[in-house]
A = this chain, B = another copy of it.
Amino acid sequence: MCKADKRKKTTMADLARLTGVSVMTVSRALKPNGSTSAETRRRILEAAENLGYLVDRSAVSLATQRSGFVAVVTPRSPEALFQDIRNGLCDGLLAAGVEPLLSPPHDCPAQEETLVVAALSRRPEAIVLAGGPHTPRCSRLLEQANIPVVEIFNLPKQPIGHAIGFCEHNAGRRMARYLTKEGYRRIGFLGGDPSWDPCGGALRGGFLDELRHRGVSDLLVQGWPRPTMEMASAAKATRILLRRDPDIDAIMCVSDKAAYAALQVCEQRGLQAPCDVAIASFGNTELAAHSTPGLTSLDIGACSIGARAADVVVRSLKDGQFAAAPSSEEIQTKLKERGSTHGTPKPCAHTKQLLHAYMMR
């Protein structure tokens, strides 16, 4: 009844004193399957509710040697994709009764290491993180942590435990193959600085390799220094690209947002996709499907990566065998072809109307 005025939090001892039982009885009454008389439990639960008592999970963790949560450490970039991945992951874990606890987003391997140290210090049951690259110490700590480690998004060269992801390099090559087959020859690449977006860097690497392999070497690359303001950065980079090579005929972008920004800049310049310049991207988020024209984009199945990861975590937690025999699952990126790289644009209703208005003047 009386509110806790003191700084001290209420403990089981308080509940025990109040209800005239031992601490152990309180502990049992608070669990769904503890053996306590109905009446005793009722009184204890009532007292707990009145005082707003909540178990101290630090103490529980210490006593049981089980923390009951799974750590999730993801990079800030690419946000839209990790958003979906995290959603799929969290939903899957919660559905299985496992609690995910997310670290703040990181911008580089060094920061990742800091966050992984913090996460491991809380003794998670398992840890899910992006495929890297990690710092050497980070990798070592993960190996020594003795818990299931699940690397997602990009497939690491040397997985620590389980891995579910795609190969960015292959993804880049794939798109390069497609664009060259479609006949594009003066191709640009738009992406962030690899120091904060290693994944985009690898994508670009694969893209470049394949282009060279196909004899398309006159490639222009334009990047930007920070992960924020992606559209504005991409728009600016596009302008530079167009200035450097006005005859550019295709631009591959590291994300749908960047691609959308590039598309707008091109249109403002009177360049129409795909006839004047093709725009392709990576991620296949909602925006790619809904923009006009639609953006040709590489799909990585972000939601399903999250769901698969949740599955692997849950199985690892249940089954020591499975946890001990790390699996590696390569996700094949799917090239989703849309109007930004293929087909001739027809004047849409909008254009017809403008045309009409234009001629009526």
A349 and B291 within 8 A (CB): no
Q: In the complex, A51 Cα to B120 Cα: how many Å?
A: 14
A7 and B146 within 8 A (CB): yes
User: Please, what's the 1-or-0 string for A142-170, where 1 marks a CB less than 8 Å from any CB in chain B?
Assistant: 01111000000000000000000000000
Q: In the complex, A352 Cα to B269 Cα: how many Å?
A: 11
Residue among A94, A104, A349, A355 with max Cβ neighbours from chain B (10 Å): A104
A286 and B270 within 8 A (CB): no
Q: In the complex, A141 Cα to B51 Cα: how many Å?
A: 9
User: Please, what's the 1-or-0 string for A181-195, where 1 marks a CB less than 8 Å from any CB in chain B?
Assistant: 000000000000000
One complex includes copies of this chain to the number of 2
A272 and B348 within 8 A (CB): no
Known: A104-B94, A272-B353. A140 touches B345 (CB 8 A): no
B269 and A349 within 8 A (CB): yes
Chain B residues whose C-beta falls within 8 Å of the C-beta of A354 in the assembled complex: 272, 345, 347, 351, 355
Known: A54-B120, A58-B62, A99-B118. A347 touches B358 (CB 8 A): yes
B353 and A355 within 8 A (CB): no
B99 and A101 within 8 A (CB): no
The interface residues of chain A, by DSSP majority, are classed as helix
Identify which of residues 1-33 in chain A touch chain B, using a CB-to-CB cut-off of 8 Å: 3-4, 7, 9
A290 and B231 within 8 A (CB): yes
B62 and A59 within 8 A (CB): yes
* Minimum Cβ distance to chain B for residue A11 (Å): 11
Indicate if A110 sits at the interface (CB-CB under 8 A). no
Interface size on A, residues (CB 8 A): 77
Residue among A101, A103, A350, A352 with max Cβ neighbours from chain B (10 Å): A350
* Minimum Cβ distance to chain B for residue A54 (Å): 5
Residue of B nearest to A3 (CB): B144
Indicate if A102 sits at the interface (CB-CB under 8 A). yes
List the 10 shortest-distance A-B pairs measured between CB atoms, nearest first.
A270-B349, A52-B144, A90-B104, A58-B61, A102-B102, A231-B286, A267-B350, A57-B121, A58-B58, A231-B290
Residues on A facing B (Cβ under 8 Å): 3-4, 7, 9, 51-52, 54-59, 61-62, 67, 76, 79, 83, 86-87, 90-91, 93-94, 99-105, 117-118, 120-123, 140-141, 143-146, 228-232, 235, 257, 260-261, 264, 267-272, 286-287, 289-292, 345, 347-355, 357-358
13 pairs of residues in contact across A and B, judged by CB atoms under 8 Å = A52-B144, A54-B117, A57-B58, A91-B104, A99-B118, A101-B103, A231-B286, A231-B287, A231-B290, A235-B290, A267-B348, A271-B349, A347-B357
